[in-house]
A and B are shown apart, each in its own frame.
Chain A
Amino acid sequence: MVRVIAALLLPIAVPAVLTAVLWALPGHPAEIVCPPGICDGSEALAERWNLHKGPWHFFSNWLAQAVQGEFGNSWRAQPGVPVAELLLQSLPQTTQLLVLSMVPLIVGSVAAALGWLPKRLDPLWQAIGLVPAVILALFCAAQVQIEYGAMSHEGWPAMLRLLLGALVLGVADSALSGAITGTRGVFEAELRQRYIQIALLRGETPLSNALPNVLPALIGQFRARALHIMSGTVVVEVVLGISGLGELLFDGTLMQDFGVVLAAAWAFSLLSAALLLLQGLLEVMVALWVRWAPSGVVEPAEVAP
């Protein structure tokens, strides 16, 4: 229930907090949105952004337009281009990157759960995980540039950038090591439970018994990692030249393009809310699975006297 509320609040909270910050900071919001050194005509800018009638007017107007997919035009990052168009162009790249980057994590988790990865290798994964994404991405970008040139953004080089980006996100910043040690830790704690020992005596496998009980914890861990990876997409996309949501957000921030940044941040909050809902849904499904007793369980009434 908390997750559903948080998921519903998240897309509202992002523009709300930004509105609060804009009005809390010293100076006129229009001058914060675009400092006088960069833009002229604060009053026109305030009117254009609905900043002239107070925070509620700005917030409600922006949200109402955002729900209809109307974000206005970019005015500094890619002048004149509708922001909605930029979002639609960049979203598939980021989604692909996110999905692909989950592959090493899933493989690592499954291998850890099945005991295929020896525990003594953990320091190795942890050492690799200490490397920041920016450094791994830097080496990958150099490799692509040497092989295919700086402007190689189509065909196989573009796919290679995507794959390398996913690998970086899946390995750097403790993503893989966290998945391996986290999954193993959850399983080890569960396998120490008494019911698992009884299941073993009954000739059942420990995995099939432990899995329904550890899944909620594993799902929670995965959402946290997906969120972490989502954050890392900004770095990886800019360094590797992948035209995704992260690159759009960074360029918008660097160019002080308020419309692009707010829209991109909102898109990220929608992705995050979707992850929260997915987690909630999966947790409900697991709860239902656990409730429908596993096959082979003999009800007391059926036991012969």
Chain B
Amino acid sequence: MRTSLTRKVALAFGLAALAVLLLMSFFAPENLSTPTALIGGEKGPLEVPPFGTDERGIPLLEYAMQGASIVTLPSLVSGAVVMLLATVAGLVRCAGLTWVDSVIQFGSELVGSLPRLVVVLVVALVLPVDWKTLLPIGITWALLAAPGAMDEAAATAGRLGGERFVEALRAHGFSGVRIYLYHVVWMNLRPVIVRQGAEVTMQVVFLEIALSYLALRRNEPSFTHSAAEFSWATLLYQGYTALLGSPLLHSLFTGLGLVALTAGMAQALRVAARAR
């Protein structure tokens, strides 16, 4: 009873957090407001709700919304890619396609041996200028994260009995669609698939923040978005200057809040999909 309630609350929180991200992304301004000051224009959250402004008088809400528009769609697509691949690996194990299973395992060993961020940076280097957005980088990350997810999904399907499980259900007269989609995927693989998808979604958001933050430290444009857009990393960078003494502590809290929202969403969805 209590577990069921926990799952429902977690699902509600996860979906609410996702809705907030989608709304911020949907209503994000194309360009930031015109600065009202060159320096010293910062205002706290009480003066300019909900987050205050930066030193140029630009509301932090606009940074938050633009950042959401950069990360939301690519991170969700990346999560979906991992979920799809993990589902395929689980189904392959249940279908008893041993040679496909072996190919997946060897591929997983090879792909899983590469440090992900290194590959992401190499991909960012060779991407044509027009393609330098978070989406291809996020999908690369998802493909690199997929071996782990596929391995876990296949192991879960294996523990279920693999081929014998499917045979047993066929003996009960269930159709293939019902067996694979309902019994295997929905009833048994769901916790693994949702958790892996949610984690990769969160990781891609954090990846964008990290790459943009590193580019900001070098005073260079990031390869995850255009130079006219601002990521959540800008808030954290302003927060970093606050740690060194500038009056922008509210930027730091806004940036950390957005990171916590993303992490909270992923954790909530993971808990909501937990096995009974």
Contact = CB atoms under 8 A, between A and B. Distances in A.
Interface residues of A, number: 59
A134 B209 contact: yes
Contacts of B114: 10, 14, 227, 268-269, 272
A224 B145 CA distance: 12
A210 B246 CA distance: 55
A10 B111 CA distance: 9
A256 B123 CA distance: 12
A151 interface: no
A164 interface: no
B256 interface: yes
| Chain A interface SS verdict (over half) | helix
A230 B114 CA distance: 9
Interface in A84-143: 130, 132-135, 138-139, 141-142
| Chain B interface SS verdict (over half) | helix
Given A130-B267, A132-B259, A10 B110 contact: yes
B124 interface: yes
B230 interface: no
Contacts of B165: none
B56 interface: no
Interface of B: 105-106, 109-110, 112-119, 121-129, 148, 206, 209-210, 213-215, 217-218, 220, 223, 236, 239-240, 243-244, 256, 259, 263, 267
Interface of A: 2-3, 6-7, 9-10, 13-14, 18, 21-22, 25-27, 32-33, 35, 37, 130, 132-135, 138-139, 141-142, 145-146, 224, 227-228, 230-232, 234-235, 238-239, 246, 249-256, 258, 261-262, 264-265, 268-269, 272-273, 275-276
Given A7-B113, A21-B123, 7 more contacts: A32-B126, A141-B240, A227-B113, A249-B121, A250-B121, A261-B122, A269-B114
18 contacts: A2-B109, A18-B126, A21-B126, A132-B209, A134-B206, A134-B214, A138-B236, A138-B239, A224-B112, A231-B117, A238-B214, A253-B122, A254-B215, A255-B220, A265-B118, A268-B118, A269-B114, A272-B114
